[in-house]
Amino acid sequence: MRNSTTRSVRQSVVLQAVIAALLIGVTVAVATRFKAAGQQQSNQQANQQANQQANQQANQQANQQANQQANQQANQQAGQQTNQPATPPPRPAITTVSPEDAARETNNPRSKWFREAKYGLFIHWGLYAIPAGTWKGQQIPGIGEWIMNRAKVPVKEYEQLAAQFNPVKFNAEEWAQLAQDAGMKYLTITSKHHDGFAMFKSQASKYNIVDATPFKRDPLKELQAACAKRGIKLCFYYSQAQDWHEPNGAGNTWDFGPDDQKDFDQYLRDKALPQVREILTQYGPLGMIWFDTPRLMNEQRAEQFTKMVRELQPDCLINGRLGGKGDYRSTGDNRIPDQVVPGVWEVPATINDTWGYKSYDDHWKQPADIVFKLVDIASKGGNYLLNVGPTAEGVIPQPSQDILRKVGQWLKVNGEAVYGAGPTPFGQEFGKLSETKKDQRGQPVFEQAKEWRVTTKPGRLYIHLFTWPKEFALEGLKGKVTKAYLLADSKALKFSQSEGKLVVQLPDKAPGELASVIRLDVSGVNP
């Protein structure tokens, strides 16, 4: 099984390398055109081009790595039980987007709120919060919400968790307030994950939080009200293909045998489509539905969902993991591209190393790291969807709350440089290809620089500093800077500008613990 998996991975990696190589040429050309149109600066253009050429290779490499990883992951997951390669083949990495798709995403009025929002709260919550990473005394490796699969728990056993699920400390107001304090503009919660358990009242399946638990409440209804109050866009994750509770759903091979012998269309007809109809009709306007792991999906199956979403909620976004073309693309989990990527896209990310709660995962990302990632992603043109995994009592772990609120404090001061901001017109700040270090295939490694990042708004540049130099120097800016100040204290900064070089003098001490942002007002150029 190992061998055949490895072989099929290798084959598709080779194929994808070829496709990626073809696409990258186009992507780079287009990215150059996009940016050139916005700024009319020959110097900047030259910079960009040099930078893009230098990084083309790095991109290609990253794509191949991402593809290989996605391939391996998908194949491992699917192949574990059945010796079958995963279906469908993994999507190419998001950096290989075609110019047509990028333009379609960007010009879609439906995605406007999303492009401006930049930062959302992901919540993975379900029955898996009860075992919290431990089954029958054994710590089960991997992500918490996969415990049923990783421990091969029979449906009859796993189902019994429902009778114990009573998250009496759940408070929708507190969760929505946390998202607001954190500066997050949307909230995406698991309405049904791969375990098949619906976290909402469902007519289509009794295996749901209202009908099958002592809790009897519908937390998604409560969240609807709490989010609406605060202007937070409510979004639902829905696992449309994997459903380990259903004989014909994808993924549960330990109870129901190989996926290729299932009547997958019957599962779609009896459960997935009716439940998606329920979430689209019972919870007011949704920001999006976040589909996932499109095993066994194909264009025609995806189309049934797309049609339903468009009919019932024309403004509701569809993410990139349905199985057809979505309104935007997701990167691989926790994967941030090296460069600016055109179009609309999102990085789904964990705050520790799991999505669903695991009692012993304390590997928290720190606020400085999260601020860096948020800014890094925004400066490349994407969104950051950061996850928390609440406990079986309905509590979001205190460390995640504290971390999110620290980042929220930073955003209160510096939010204008993030929300609604566009990507950098430069690129040299992302780093460069190593002159000495090579990867296993002999390709130079991309060495990320982390000193500064840039976001933009019309007539403005925002320089995010992650270290604190005496002065900040920027090459290649031809527009005339009329004003410079730190968002943290609004005090004017001294600067000089000559021959395309800007130098901004900085005070002795940074104004805060986390990144400091210089706002530059620029005339004569629209960054």
CA distances for 166 relative to 124, 147, 213, 457, angstroms = 16, 19, 7, 47
Q: Which stretch binds ligand JFZ (CB under 6 A): 143-151, 206-214, 249-257, 517-525?
A: 143-151
Query: Which of 16, 180, 293, 339 is the binder for ligand JFZ (CB under 6 A)?
Result: 293
**Cβ of residue 286: shortest distance to ligand JFZ, in angstroms?**
18
User: In the complex with ligand JFZ, which residue's Cβ is closer, 48 or 293?
Assistant: 293
> Is residue 236 a contact partner of residue 290, using CB atoms and an 8 Å limit?
yes
**Cβ of residue 164: shortest distance to ligand JFZ, in angstroms?**
22
User: In the complex with ligand JFZ, which residue's Cβ is closer, 129 or 486?
Assistant: 129
Query: Which of 126, 287, 326, 332 is the binder for ligand JFZ (CB under 6 A)?
Result: 332
Residue 238's H or E segment, with its range, is strand 233-238
CA atoms of 422 and 381, how far apart (whole Å):
6
Looking only at the bridges linking them, the beta strands covering 516-523 and 501-505 are unpaired
Query: Which of 105, 145, 243, 259 is the binder for ligand JFZ (CB under 6 A)?
Result: 145
Strands across the sheet containing 495-498: 471-475, 501-505, 495-498
Amino acid at 391: T
> Is residue 126 a contact partner of residue 173, using CB atoms and an 8 Å limit?
no
Of 314, 268, 269, nearest to 288 (Cα)? 314
| Chain centroid to CA 59 | 19
Residue 255 binds ligand JFZ, judged by CB under 6 A: no
**Cβ of residue 380: shortest distance to ligand JFZ, in angstroms?**
18
**Cβ of residue 122: shortest distance to ligand JFZ, in angstroms?**
7
User: In the complex with ligand JFZ, which residue's Cβ is closer, 128 or 200?
Assistant: 128
Residue 73 binds ligand JFZ, judged by CB under 6 A: yes
User: In the complex with ligand JFZ, which residue's Cβ is closer, 30 or 121?
Assistant: 121
CA atoms of 411 and 185, how far apart (whole Å):
12
In total, the chain counts a number of residues equal to 527
**Cβ of residue 277: shortest distance to ligand JFZ, in angstroms?**
22
Looking only at the bridges linking them, the beta strands covering 138-139 and 460-465 are unpaired
User: In the complex with ligand JFZ, which residue's Cβ is closer, 159 or 292?
Assistant: 292
Distance from the first to the final alpha carbon of the chain: 53
Q: How many residues bind ligand JFZ (CB under 6 A)?
A: 11
In angstroms and rounded to an integer, the radius of gyration of the C-alpha atoms of the chain is 24
Amino acid at 346: E
**Cβ of residue 502: shortest distance to ligand JFZ, in angstroms?**
39
CA atoms of 418 and 163, how far apart (whole Å):
44
Tell me how many degrees the CA angle 128-357-65 measures, rounded to the nearest 5.
100
Q: Which stretch binds ligand JFZ (CB under 6 A): 34-42, 141-149, 222-230, 504-512?
A: 141-149
> Is residue 316 a contact partner of residue 306, using CB atoms and an 8 Å limit?
no
Query: Which of 58, 62, 70, 392 is the binder for ligand JFZ (CB under 6 A)?
Result: 70
Query: Which of 181, 333, 416, 521 is the binder for ligand JFZ (CB under 6 A)?
Result: 333
Of 111, 527, 88, nearest to 344 (Cα)? 111
Find where tokens 């490895």 sit. Answer: 6
Of 251, 272, 389, 384, nearest to 330 (Cα)? 384
Phi, psi of 140, rounded to the nearest 5 degrees = -95, 120
**Cβ of residue 290: shortest distance to ligand JFZ, in angstroms?**
8
Residue 324 binds ligand JFZ, judged by CB under 6 A: no
CA atoms of 265 and 301, how far apart (whole Å):
8
**Cβ of residue 127: shortest distance to ligand JFZ, in angstroms?**
14
Rounded to 10 degrees, the C-alpha dihedral 330/334/335/337 comes to 80
Pair of tokens at residue 526: 């629209």
Residue 390 binds ligand JFZ, judged by CB under 6 A: no
Of 412, 414, 423, 494, nearest to 453 (Cα)? 423
User: In the complex with ligand JFZ, which residue's Cβ is closer, 267 or 462?
Assistant: 267
Binding mask 488-527 for ligand JFZ (x = CB under 6 A): ----------------------------------------
Query: Which of 78, 130, 140, 143 is the binder for ligand JFZ (CB under 6 A)?
Result: 143
CA atoms of 38 and 527, how far apart (whole Å):
7
User: In the complex with ligand JFZ, which residue's Cβ is closer, 96 or 424?
Assistant: 96
User: In the complex with ligand JFZ, which residue's Cβ is closer, 333 or 416?
Assistant: 333
Give the residue closest to ligand JFZ by C-beta: 332
**Cβ of residue 440: shortest distance to ligand JFZ, in angstroms?**
20
Binding mask 346-385 for ligand JFZ (x = CB under 6 A): --x------x------------------------------
Query: Which of 218, 259, 278, 292 is the binder for ligand JFZ (CB under 6 A)?
Result: 292
Interface residue list for ligand JFZ (CB under 6 A): 70, 73, 143, 145-146, 292-293, 332-333, 348, 355
